[in-house]
Amino acid sequence: MLTSMIIIFLVGYLLIALEHPLKINKAGTALLVGTILWTLYTYGAPTFIPEASAEEFKLFLEHNPSLSTATFKEQCIHFVIEHQVLDCIGEIAETLIFLIGAMLTVELIDVHGGFMFITNRITTKKKRNLLFMVATITFFMSAVLDNLTTSIVMIMLIRKLIGDYKERWIFGSIIIIAANSGGAWSPIGDVTTIMLWVRGNISTSATIPHLLLPSIVSALIPVLITMRSLHGNITPPNAFETDPNDELLRILKKKEKLSILILGISCLLFVPIFKTITHLPPFMGILMGVGILWFYTEIIYRGNNINEDLKLRLSKVVHRIDGSTLLFFLGILLAVDALRCSGALADFSLWLDKNVGNVYAVNLIIGTFSAIVDNVPLVAGAMGMYPIANETMVAAAADPVYMSHFVQDGVFWQFLAYCAGVGGSMLIVGSAAGVVVMGLERINFIWYLKHISLLALIGYLAGASVYIIQRVIFNF
């Protein structure tokens, strides 16, 4: 059964990669693969659960004594439906709701002319200068926000500057690389670093100084290589194309547009602060921001004599969200969670530990596979395999030096944060930022593979080399 699940996942992945030649929407493929894998997993649950989820299953039965008279197969089915599926859907929903909230926030800023204050100040038309500027803004913004939100904001920005879609594909690809690299050195910049930070595997004071330089190198090298192939000026959007929002933008005052930009960006920046203060999941913070921004735009409309047909209330803006991207994301995460519950990902991580046994090599391999499989379950599997080592565990270990890599802020955890975050750039579907940019700009999977994947790989290995040199040679 497990073999069948892996084959179906790989076939589905191939169909997603060949979406444009086959003319089959990737969202439909992802949903089909995700639901088929969960069906197969449920059918084979009596085989999977004793191996992959024995402790969880035992606790589930203890909390549900009414199932004591049921057959083992019935107990397994109840465990899958009432526990595992709900847990997985809950985690996926957190990501999707956050994504919806971020998209709504960015759209509200955009349709009310907020980003004009940024685009009007970017006067350079030279491709090289603009690429470097966009990459720099993305890199540092993704460390404060998350790489997903940053990617959405930056794509909306370059749409205001670049008219040719092929040029936007190049810029969008660099945004993916810069966003993933920027999120890797900050505990709140990527979902995997957030996982490691919340669980206590890494801390802010040690992560930033150790991962900042490797992350910069991993983004800088692809940018510099790409700049060498760029010549001349960008193709601006067609000045003769009419923007349906032009009349609204003419009516709104300059200070109103600026206030929406400031309030919207503040709401995005507030999300990690909200999480730190309340300990609630990030989607709560982004929904609060959407509510504040919605409330504020309603007040603006009350104070202006604007035709109702021109008003872009959130109830209208919500229709601009790309539903196929959300469904694609849902299908992919469902498929990966089915593989995780079956134990396939944990088995692979265990195989790496036994057959490789070097923390640098293991993390480099995990980072490479994070370009194919979502990095969240990979990191979760690694965290489940290894406890955070303390002084007693290190002293009692057969190989104390090796065990010392697993203490808080140890080499394994820091390098895992780098590799899982940056490695996802090597394929466009390897990260949340890549999936979103792919959906928003319709970037071809094969095009990205041919033109960007090698650059991302070079940057990934260069940054990894910097980290290893820091640790091995300079002991930093």
Choose the most confident range, by mean pLDDT, from 230-244, 290-304, 320-334.
Answer: 290-304
**Residue 387 forms part of a structural domain:** no
Question: Which has more confidence, 378 or 454?
Answer: 454
**Residue 452 forms part of a structural domain:** no
Q: Structural domain of residue 307, as residue ranges?
A: 96-189+235-320
Give 407's strand partners.
389
CB 155, CB 175: distance < 8 Å: yes
Percent with pLDDT over 70 in the chain: 95
What DSSP assignment string belongs to 153-198? HHHHHHHHH---HHHHHHHHHHHHHHHHHHHHTSTTSSHHHHHHHH
pLDDT in tens, 170-201: 999 999 999 999 999 988 777 788 778 867 78
**Residue 9 forms part of a structural domain:** no
**Residue 178 forms part of a structural domain:** yes
The total number of residues written for the chain in this structure: 476
**Residue 329 forms part of a structural domain:** no
- Give the number of domains in the chain: 1
CB atoms within 10 A of CB 136: 15
**Residue 176 forms part of a structural domain:** yes
**Residue 268 forms part of a structural domain:** yes
**Residue 261 forms part of a structural domain:** yes
Q: How far apart are CA 300 and CA 305, in angstroms?
A: 10
pLDDT in tens, 97-152: 887 888 888 888 888 888 777 777 777 889 999 999 999 999 998 887 778 778 88
